[in-house]
Amino acid sequence: MNKPKYTIAVTGLNAIDSPGPGLAIIRGLKDAKSFDVRIIGLAYEALEPGIYLHDYIDKTYQIPFPTAGQEVLFERLSYINSEENIDFLYPNFDAELYGFIKLQKHMEEILGIKMVLPTIEQFEERHKVNLYDYGIKHDIKVPKARAIYSTAEIPAAAQLYGYPLVVKGKFYDAKVAYNNEQAAQHFNKISAQWGLPILIQEFVRGSEVNVCGIGDGKGNLLGAVPMRKLYITDKGKAWAGISLDNERLLELTRNMVESTKWQGPFELEYVKTVDDEYYLLEINPRFPAWCYLTVGAGQNQMEALVNLAMGKEVEPFKSYKVGTMFIRYSNDLIVDINEFEKISTIGEL
C-alpha cells in the first residue's frame, strides 16, 4: 500500500542558543512511518540556520513578522500555498500563535491548509499572567504571581512574595532576582525585548521537570514524555535531558488535558519540591525545542498530530523508553553568499 505524501510547512527555524522547535519537528516528520513529506520552511529572518539545511527543508519562504497583522500574513501564505499546495502547517513560536489561531478557519476553508492548535480560549487563559487563576480553575498548583507594568511596582510585589522571586516575560525569558535592584534590571531587559506586562512570580525551590505531549481536543492525552534537564544554558534552555519514569507527572498531565480539553501540542514546565509536590510554572502551547526526544523515546508525536489533522484514527501512545537522553550540539554551517542574497531579496530559497 502506497503511503501518502504531505507537503508540510514549519516555522521556528532559528537553531541558535535559544532554539526554535522547527528543526526538531522536521526531524520527527522525516522519521514518520505512515507518510512521506516535503518540507516547506517559513522563516522570519535571513540568518535562520534552518533555511540553509537543504537535507531537511526542500524550499523556504520568508513570512512577515506577527506585528504585520493577520491580513498580511494570510496574503503571504496564500501566495506560498499557490506555489506549494500545503497540506499541514506547524507554527512554533508563542508570539505568532495568536495570529495563526485566528486564521485557522480561513486557512482550512480557503487554502486547504490544516493545523492542530489550541482554541483561542485555551491559548489566552494559559498565559503566564493568567496562570494562577488557571490553576485554581483546573485544580493545579501554581506559584502565586502578579503582572506589573513598571519597576515602581516591584517593592510591593517583593513584599508579598519575598526574595528570591522570578521575573518573567510575557512570551519568553525568566530570571531569578534576589533584591529590588536586580529585579528592576531583569524587568528592564526583558520588557525591552518582549514588552509589557512583566510577571513577578513566587519562587518555588526544587528541580524542574518538563512534559512534551499532545491532546486531541476531546480530553484525551494522545502522548506524553516527561523529561528532566541535565544541562541548562544561561538562558535556561535545556541543552541535555533524559526521559523519566514518573507516573505522578503523567497523571498530572492527563488530568490537565482532560480538564481543559487541550487541543494540539504542549509543553508543561513543573517544579518538583523536596516534599514531592509539583507546581506548574508554564504551559507552552506548542512543541518545545527538545521535542525530538519523544521520537527517540518511541513516541513520534509530530507524526501523530499530522495524522490527527488528516482524519486518521490515532491511538494514544501507551509507553515510552525511560532513560533516553538528548544532547544538543552546535555546528558551523557553510553557506554560499548567493543563497543568503536570494532569501534576503526575493524571500524564497
Mean pLDDT by 10 residues, the chain (349 residues): 92 86 97 97 95 96 95 97 97 93 96 97 88 88 90 90 89 86 92 88 92 97 96 83 96 95 96 92 94 98 98 95 95 93 94
Which sign does the torsion angle of CA 332, 336, 341, 347 carry?
negative
Over the chain, what is the mean pLDDT?
93
Residue 321: which residues within 8 A CB-CB, separation 6 or more? 243, 296, 297, 298
Q: Where are the domains of the chain?
A: 5-115+332-345, 144-202, 205-327
Q: Say if 144-202 and 205-327 have the same CATH topology.
A: no
For residue 1, what is its C-alpha cell?
Answer: 500500500
Structural domain 5-115+332-345, CATH architecture = 3-Layer(aba) Sandwich (3.40)
Task: Supply the pTM of this predicted model.
Answer: 0.91
For the CA atoms of 92, 95, 99, 105, the dihedral, rounded to the nearest 10 degrees, stands at: 30
Which CATH superfamily hosts domain 205-327?
Answer: ATP-grasp fold, B domain (3.30.470.20)
User: What dotted CATH number matches 144-202?
Assistant: 3.30.1490.20
Looking at residue 108, the DSSP 8-state letter turns out to be I
- b/e sequence 259-292, b meaning 16+ C-beta within 10 Å: ebbbbbbbbbbbbbeeeeebbbbbbbbbbbbbbb
278-310 confidence digits (pLDDT tens): 999 999 999 999 999 999 999 999 999 999 999
